Every structure is written in structure tokens, then in C-alpha cells.
Amino acid sequence: MLMMLACPLPKLDFDTINLGHGSGGTLTSQLLDAGVFKILENDLLNKKHDGAIFNINGKVAMSTDTYVVSPIFFEGGNIGDLAVNGTVNDLAMCGAAAKYLTLSFVLEEGLKMTEFWEVLNSIRAACDAAGVQIITGDTKVVEKGKGDKIFINTTGIGLVHPEAAIDTDHIKPGDKIILSGPLARHGITIMSHRQGLGFESTISSDTRALNKVVLSLLDEFGKNIHFLRDPTRGGLATVLNEIAIGARAGIDISQKNICIEEDVSGACEMLGLDPLYVANEGLFVAVVDASVAEAFLYRLQDWEHGEMAAIIGEITNDHPRQVVMRSLIGGRRVVNMLPGEQLPRIC
């Protein structure tokens, strides 16, 4: 909302998006000049060319992702900051500091300009917070009913940290697995917003950029960080299974060390969902050498969102390619991947 004040919606001839805004004609120019370029401006974008031309020296990482979240506004964020943070975080998980992003919109005819404006302002704020720039992009409009208000693709490029060696091949038995914070906030926020759930809460999404904290951890722990991954879709369980398969190793985790806030846990109980499979947007899992695990955790807990970080488990030679969890009551069970989206249970 603060950014809204900084860049208010100008007086325009239109208050909703129509097909003309994606035509490449005058309406497109109006939309871009009055909005996109103005809000997102920087030297490279200001050239308004078909692409951006720049120098970048060193080892580079690149990542792309498309954002289709519904609803587009939710507690703690919206599709705009999600689209910036998501790609910035994917690069961070490669050990790279995001530098430039591309930004493509697919807008649905009838989208309110006020909504589009709020998304644009959030994109700018997220870029500033993460220290990245939007340098080229695209806007298309589809007929009403053929989209869902707004879809966003971002593609990012970033410089890989000189000490980064993030690779499943570097994971070895004895490595510790560290989770950076409490689970399942983003997914539960979205679920509680969806129409027809009859369920309201004050839980907010954890969407945030992770590049600064990850890069500073790489400064200090370098090659002792063997792997990084953010548990977005599919949640922690899916990421741990991917790590176990990729590293051809087993994983042991302890349920009592996995932090879930009480309100989130209560919502999961009510909705019949397992928080291990619920999406997160501001969390990461690090697999680190056992020799640095305590120091890594200590540093992470210093970070403003790292208070609840914990060592949740370790890599083992036993049960290769499988994740086994010690339950709160001391039993052991396998944590498997799901074939699709988690579905609520009947009773």
C-alpha cells in the first residue's frame, strides 16, 4: 500500500484491461508508458527496445517460472511479488545472486486497472527488496474466460557465487539437513482464501526473497553447503524425496524438529492436509557438511526470518532413495511423494 502512494494510478481513458491493450497499438503504448515503464523504470528498461543489451562477467545461472496463483491477492503478498521472489529464489538455490529479470504478463480482458496497478507496484517493491531489475518484458491480453485475471512469467539471470558448489553429487552420508523456518504458511494462506472453503484465518504467506541470506551464508560456508532447494509446490516432503533420489542416498528426519506454527497446524488439521506437502514461498532446505551445521544454523537464526530454523535430519547410507521420519511419538514411517495435488479427506 505504501508503494501505491508512491506511484498512484494516473487518470486513464480506461479502468479495465481490454483486448486492445495486447494489440501492440496505441492502447498498448498507453498502458506501458503510463504504467509498466514508469513503475519499473531503470536504465536498461528505459531503452524500450525489443530486448536488453548488457555485459555480465563470470559464471551465470538462469531460471524461469510462471505464476498462475488464484486468488491473485492474499495475506502477505500478491502474484506480483510472488513472481519476483520465486525466480530470485530459484537462482539463489543455484548459489546465484539474481541480477536481471524478464517479465511477461498474460492479462485477462476485464482485469481492473487498480488491481494491475497494485501488482505492478508490488513487483517494483519486490525488485527493490531483492536488488534486481526488470530489463525486458511482454504484455498479452486474452479474451475474458480464457485466463484467470493475470498470469506472470519471469526469467532471471544471476551471477553464481565463486564459492558455490551446489550439486546433489556433493551430498554425502552424515550431512545435516537444515530447514530455514516454519512450514506450510503460503499454501494454507491460499487454501483459506479459495472460494467455498468457509474458513478464514489470519495466516499470511511467507513469500520473500532469499537471495541475500543465502549469498551471505555462501560467503561464510562456501563449499560446505552441498545443496539448496526451496520447498515450493509439493512442499518439504517432495523436496526431500527429490534430494534422496538425486543423491542416491537415504534421508532421516525428525518430526519434532520441523517447526509448524500453531495456527497453521490447526488449519491443516481442519482442512485434512499434511503440512509436509503444503507449498512454501520463503523457505529453503540446506544440506550442509556436518562440520559446519551448528555454525550454519547459528548464522541462519540471526536472520530476521530465521528464528525458527532447525536441523531437521541427516543424510544416511541406509534406505537409499527414501525419506524416513521419526514421528512425534517415536514411531518411524516413510515420507513418500504424492502423485498429484493433495486432496482434502472426507472425514
Binding site for other proteins (CB under 8 A): 196-199, 262, 265-266, 269, 271-272, 319, 322, 324, 326-336, 338-340, 343-347
- CA distance from start to end of the chain: 40
Nearer to other proteins (CB atom), residue 233 or residue 319? 319
The answer to whether 17 and 111 are in contact (CB under 8 A) is: yes
Please report how close the Cβ of residue 262 comes to other proteins at its closest, in angstroms: 6
Nearer to other proteins (CB atom), residue 9 or residue 271? 271
Nearer to other proteins (CB atom), residue 117 or residue 277? 277
Please report how close the Cβ of residue 333 comes to other proteins at its closest, in angstroms: 4
Question: Quick one: how far is CA 14 from the chain centroid?
Answer: 33
Question: Measuring CA to CA, which residue among 137, 140, 170, 103 is closest to residue 23?
Answer: 140
What DSSP state is assigned to residue 8?
P
Nearer to other proteins (CB atom), residue 57 or residue 195? 195
Helix (H, G, I), strand (E, B) or coil at 323: strand
Nearer to other proteins (CB atom), residue 224 or residue 322? 322
Please report how close the Cβ of residue 346 comes to other proteins at its closest, in angstroms: 4
Please report how close the Cβ of residue 168 comes to other proteins at its closest, in angstroms: 20
Cis peptide upstream of residue 71 (ω within 30 degrees of 0): yes
Nearer to other proteins (CB atom), residue 53 or residue 343? 343
To the nearest 10°, the Cα dihedral for 186, 187, 190, 195?
A: -170
Please report how close the Cβ of residue 286 comes to other proteins at its closest, in angstroms: 25
Q: Secondary structure of 46-82 in the HEC alphabet?
A: HHCCCCCCCCCCCCEEEEEEEECCCCCEECCEEHHHH
Q: Going edge to edge, which strands form the sheet with 60-67?
A: 60-67, 150-160, 96-108, 133-142
Please report how close the Cβ of residue 125 comes to other proteins at its closest, in angstroms: 34
